[in-house]
């Protein structure tokens, strides 16, 4: 009997040790052809490596398994199925475009694992499909929804015009990619800027170069004829330089030329076309001087990958891994119910200059960041213009006429 008890004790010790030495699998889904997916997944891996080097979580190593959704809903849905059934991941993370994210939601609900979402701003599509609490409580959305973004843009432009009286905005034109991301941006713009008589809003769609487009003649002709004070486009990194090249060819130079892609091409700042282009975003390397978390992330990312992070999706994804790791540690498990409870207590001081917590949004229970920043490319670098407490430079206005 004693021998049997001893054998059972030894078996339990070995089994427990093996369990502790196992892995916690994170399933990451990104659009890898886009800069947001390329650098978002790389930054997530950086966080995994840092956490593992510090001892892991609950005595286990983190293992990030990445699948490319190609920006397509069907590929995204298949990615969830593969990660859940073949790789048997414990939690999910990632995401960028609303169209692809929409494809994941039925599978996410099917498996009920915690999701830490870094993208998908489309409230009319993605948030509506998720539905209210408690059916969507597994879903933690770090990235702002389109209405969060729009409200912060409206607040920002009001503040900028008050602070700098020479900047005057009356007419706004939005060029938007024809997918879910662009359409939700257009809907939000009409509501937030076209809801009263302060602004006159117009817009037109285009096919993004990410999905085989690249001819912006029609949308730029419409914009030029409208004569906007503020021209902005909502698309992807592949659209950034071609849009500027065609704008230059048409001599289209509005007072403010602003791009709102989730990420910019690597080296965009070195192009002469980038001069004084404004942008919406959540992070810039310029923040390193007054944000230790940003400086640490930037230094470690450049050391590992030998390139500069060119999109806020990099520190956003990096933050997502740390939030998951902290939550799993606090919960003592990856089981959904206790992990949700632990994540609800999140207070993560991120490289983005935001302490990330989760509060209810219009529909779901767990919304993270709710504000973006207004920045400008100056001298090859992204400078923060607003909010003023985080500003690293004053705005250069107007956008220079093409030579």
Using only C-alpha atoms, what is the Rg of the chain? 22
Q: Strand, coil or helix: what is 281?
A: strand
- Residue 109 in any domain: the answer is yes
Q: Do 128 and 30 fall within a single domain?
A: yes
Which of the two residues, 184 and 156, has the higher pLDDT score?
156
164 and 216, same domain (yes or no): yes
Shared domain for 234 and 109, answered yes or no, is no
Name, in order, each residue with C-beta under 8 angstroms of 49's C-beta and a sequence gap of 6 or more: 304
User: Are both 277 and 299 inside the same structural domain?
Assistant: no
Distance CA 403, CA 369 (A): 40
Query: Same domain for 178 and 133?
Result: no
State percent of the chain over pLDDT 90: 86
Residue 226 maps to a domain:
yes
Mean pLDDT taken over the chain: 93
**How high is the pLDDT of residue 59?**
97
CATH code at position 221? 3.40.50.2300
Q: Is residue 176 part of a domain?
A: yes
366 found inside a domain = no
When pLDDT is cut at 50, 70 and 90, the band that residue 4 belongs to is very low
- Evaluate whether 225 touches 166 at the Cβ level (below 8 Å): no
Residues 54 and 157 in one domain: no
User: Average of pLDDT values for 68-92?
Assistant: 98
Q: Tokens 């003023």 appear where?
A: 388
Same domain, 246 and 385: yes
The strand order across the sheet containing 61-68 reads 61-68, 23-30, 91-94, 115-117, 139-141
Q: What is the pLDDT of residues 189-245, one digit of tens each?
A: 888 888 778 899 999 999 999 999 999 999 999 999 999 999 999 999 999 999 999
Shared-domain flag, residues 109 and 190: no
267 and 383 fall within a common domain: yes
Q: How high is the pLDDT of residue 21? A: 63
- Would you say residue 9 lies in a domain? no
* Number of domains comprising the chain: 2
pLDDT in tens, 87-96: 999 999 999 9
Q: How confident is the model at residue 262 (pLDDT cuts 50, 70, 90)?
A: confident
Query: What are the tens digits of pLDDT across the range 318-369?
Result: 999 999 999 999 999 999 999 999 999 999 999 999 999 999 999 999 999 9
Mean pLDDT across the stretch 78-91? 99
Residues in CB range of 395: below 8 A, 6 or more apart = 160, 164, 167, 278, 376, 385
Q: Does 98 share its domain with 229? A: no
Does 157 lie in the same domain as 238? Answer: yes
Residue 15 pLDDT exceeds 70 = no
* Domain-located, residue 15: no
Question: How high is the pLDDT of residue 13?
Answer: 41
Asked whether residue 17 is domain-assigned, the answer is: no
pLDDT class of 185 with cuts at 50, 70, 90: confident
H-state helical runs in 21-69: 35-53
Query: 148-178: b or e for each residue (b if 16 or more CB lie within 10 Å)?
Result: bbbbbbbebbeebeeeeeebebebbbbbbbb
Per-residue pLDDT tens digits for 122-158? 898 999 999 999 999 999 999 999 899 989 999 999 9
Domain ranges, residue 327? 23-144+290-356
Q: Is the pLDDT of residue 16 over 80?
A: no
Q: Quote the CA–CA distance of 206 and 204 in Å, as a whole number.
A: 7
Under the banding of pLDDT at 50, 70 and 90, the label for residue 317 is very high
For residue range 284-293, list pLDDT tens digits in order: 999 999 899 9
Same domain, 33 and 110: yes
6 within some domain: no
């Amino acid at each position: 009997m004693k021998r049997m008890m001893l054998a059972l004790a030894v078996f339990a010790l070995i089994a427990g040790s093996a369990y502790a030495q196992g892995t916690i699998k994170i399933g990451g889904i990104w659009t890898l052809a886009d800069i947001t997916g390329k650098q978002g997944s790389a930054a997530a891996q950086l966080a995994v490596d840092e956490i593992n080097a510090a001892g892991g979580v609950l005595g286990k190593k983190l293992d990030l398994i990445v699948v490319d959704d190609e920006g397509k809903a069907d590929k995204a849905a298949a990615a969830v199925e593969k990660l859940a059934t073949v790789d048997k991941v414990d939690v999910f993370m990632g995401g960028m475009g609303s169209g692809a994210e929409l494809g994941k939601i039925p599978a996410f609900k099917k498996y009920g694992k915690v999701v830490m979402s870094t993208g998908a701003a489309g409230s009319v599509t993605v948030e509506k499909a998720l539905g209210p609490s408690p059916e969507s409580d597994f879903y933690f959305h770090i990235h702002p929804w389109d209405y969060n973004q729009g409200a912060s843009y409206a607040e920002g432009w009001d503040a900028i015009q008050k602070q700098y009286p020479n900047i005057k905005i009356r007419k706004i034109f939005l060029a938007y990619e024809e997918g879910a991301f662009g359409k939700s941006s257009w809907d939000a713009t009409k509501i937030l800027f076209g809801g009263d008589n302060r602004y006159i809003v117009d817009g037109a769609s285009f096919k993004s170069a990410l999905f085989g487009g690249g001819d912006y003649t029609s949308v730029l002709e419409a914009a030029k004829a409208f004569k906007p004070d503020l021209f902005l486009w909502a698309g992807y990194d592949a659209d950034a330089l071609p849009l500027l090249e065609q704008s230059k060819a048409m001599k289209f130079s509005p007072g403010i030329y602003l791009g709102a892609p989730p990420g910019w091409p690597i080296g965009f700042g070195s192009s002469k076309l980038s001069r004084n282009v404004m942008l919406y975003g959540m992070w810039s390397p310029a923040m390193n001087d007054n944000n230790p978390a940003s400086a640490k992330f930037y230094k470690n990312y450049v050391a590992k990958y030998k390139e500069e992070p060119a999109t806020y999706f990099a520190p956003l994804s990096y933050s997502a891994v740390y939030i998951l790791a902290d939550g799993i540690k606090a919960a003592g498990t990856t089981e959904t119910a206790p992990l949700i409870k632990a994540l609800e207590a999140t207070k993560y001081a991120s490289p983005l200059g935001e302490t990330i917590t989760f509060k209810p949004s219009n529909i779901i229970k767990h919304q993270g960041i709710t504000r973006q920043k207004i920045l400008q490319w100056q001298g090859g670098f992204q400078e923060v213009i607003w909010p003023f407490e985080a500003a690293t430079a004053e705005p250069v206005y107007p956008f220079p006429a093409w030579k």
